[in-house]
Structure 1
Amino acid sequence: MVLARDLDPSASPLDYYGYELRRLREAAGLKQGQLGDIIYCTGSLIGQVECTKRVPTRDFSERLDAALGTDGTFSRLVGLVLRSVLPTWFQPFAEMEARAAYISTYQAQLVYGLLQTSDYARAVLATGLPDGLDDLLAARLDRQRILDRDKPPMAWVVLDEAALYRPIGGRETMRQQLAHLLSFRDRRWVRIQILPFSAGEHASLIGSFTAMRFEDDPDIVYSEDLISGHMTANPDTVKEAALRYAHLQAAALSVEESAALIIRVMEERYGHQPEPDQRGVAQVKL
Structure 2
Amino acid sequence: MSKVQPTTESLHFGAIVNEHRELAKMTRAQLASKFPVSPSYIGRTIKGTTRCSYENAEKLDELLNACGHITDAWKKLNSGFPAYYQDFQAKEATASLLRTYSLLLVDGLFQTKEYAFELLRDDKAVANRLKRQEVLQRIPTPMFCLVLDEGVLYRRIGSKETMREQLQHLVEVSQRDGVFVQIAPFAYHRGARSSFSIATQGDDSSTVYIEKTTNGETTTLPAQIGESVRVFARLQSQSLSPNATRDLLRKAIEEKWT
Q: TM-score, normalised by structure 1?
A: 0.64
* Aligned residue in 2 for 1:107: 102
Check 1:82–1:194 CA distance in 2 against 1; reply closer, same or farther (3 A cut).
farther
Q: 1:85 aligns with which of 80, 84, 88?
A: 80
Unpaired stretches in structure 1, ≥5 consecutive residues:
20-79, 127-132, 272-286
Equivalent residue, structure 2, for 1:182: 171
2:156 is the counterpart of 1:195:
no
In the alignment, what sits opposite 1:236?
Answer: 223
1:95 counterpart letter in structure 2? A
Q: Structure 1's 240 and 14: CA in aligned 2 closer, same or farther, altered over 3 A?
A: same
Query: 2:84 aligns to what SS in structure 1?
Result: coil
* Structure 2 counterpart of 1:258, from 226, 245, 252: 245
In structure 2, distance between residues paired with 1:181 and 1:123: 17
Structure 2 residue ranges without an equivalent (≥5): 3-36, 58-74
On the 8 A contact 1:82/1:138 being kept in 2, the answer is: no
The aligned residue for residue 154 of structure 1 is 143
1:219 CA displacement: 1.0
1:220 is aligned to 2:258 = no
Give 1:249 deviation, angstroms.
Answer: 0.4
Q: Trace 1:1-286 onto structure 2 (pairs within 5 A).
A: 15-16=53-54, 84-126=79-121, 133-197=122-186, 200-216=187-203, 218-271=205-258
Aligned CA-pair RMSD = 2.9
Deviation at 1:85, TM superposition (A): 1.7
CA contact (8 A) 1:82 1:139 kept: no
- The DSSP-based 3-state class of the residue aligned with 1:89 is helix
Deviation, structure 1 residue 203: 2.4
Aligned residues: 202
Cα distance in 1 for residues equivalent to 2:76 and 2:55: 8
Which amino acid in the other structure matches residue 108 of structure 2?
G
Cα deviations by residue, 1:195-251 (Å, 9 ceiling, x for unpaired): 111xx2112341111111101362111102122211111112211111111110010
Question: Compared with structure 1, are the counterparts of its residues 16 and 217 closer, same or farther at alpha carbon in structure 2 (3 Å cutoff)?
Answer: farther
Contact 1:224 1:230 (C-alpha < 8 Å) held by counterparts = yes
Question: Alpha carbons of 1:14 and 1:165: their partners in 2 closer, same or farther (altered >3 Å)?
Answer: farther
Q: Is the 8 A contact 2:88 2:208 kept in 1?
A: no
Taking structure 2 as the reference length, what is the TM-score of the superposition?
0.70
Amino acid at match of 1:106: Y
Deviations along 1:124-173, one digit per CA (max 9) or x if unpaired, are 113xxxxxx11111100000001011212211000001000001011000
Identical aligned residues as a percent = 37
The alpha-carbon distance between structure 1 residues 143 and 14, as it changes in their structure 2 partners (threshold 3 A), is farther
Aligned counterparts of 2:78 and 2:130: Cα–Cα separation in 1 = 11
Q: Distance in 1 between matches of 2:76 and 2:129?
A: 12
Q: Give the 3-state SS of the residue equivalent to 2:217 in structure 1.
A: strand
